[in-house]
């Protein structure tokens, strides 16, 4: 039996990142949302690097 890969919406990722930026530890947020702490750290780095463009799909970007 194989596990299906979970996909998270942009809104969910931003919600989790904002929780961590507000002072919650990555480990605590990971337990609450059933994620790996490294996933949250990666999302946070992407958000810091790309700000509002982070987590956009290619089809969401208008050129």
pLDDT for 61 beyond 60: no
Alpha helices in 1-63 (DSSP H): 10-21, 26-33, 37-50
Supply the pTM of this predicted model. Answer: 0.80
More confident residue, 1 or 25: 25
Is residue 62 one of the residues assigned to a domain? no
How many independent structural domains does the chain possess?
Answer: 1
Q: What is the mean pLDDT of the chain?
A: 88
Q: Encoding tokens for residue 19?
A: 């929780």
pLDDT at 34: 95
Q: With CA atoms as reference, report the closest residue to 13 among 45, 61, 60, 23.
A: 45
Question: Is 38 inside any structural domain?
Answer: yes
- Contact partners, residue 40, CB within 8 Å, separation at least 6: 16, 17, 20, 26, 29, 30
Is residue 60 in a domain?
no
Q: Which two tokens stand for residue 55?
A: 């987590």
Read off the pLDDT band of 5 (50, 70, 90).
confident
Please indicate, yes or no, if residue 19 is contained in any of the structural domains.
yes
Instruction: Examine residue 31 and state whether it is found in any structural domain, yes or no.
Output: yes
Confidence of residue 52 (pLDDT cuts 50, 70, 90): confident
């Amino acid at each position: 039996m194989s596990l299906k890969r979970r996909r998270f919406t942009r809104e969910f990722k931003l919600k989790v990142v904002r929780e961590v930026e507000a002072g919650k530890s990555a480990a605590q947020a990971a337990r609450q949302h059933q994620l790996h702490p490294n996933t949250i750290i990666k999302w946070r780095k992407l958000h810091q690097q790309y700000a509002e463009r982070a987590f956009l799909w290619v089809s969401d970007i208008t050129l």
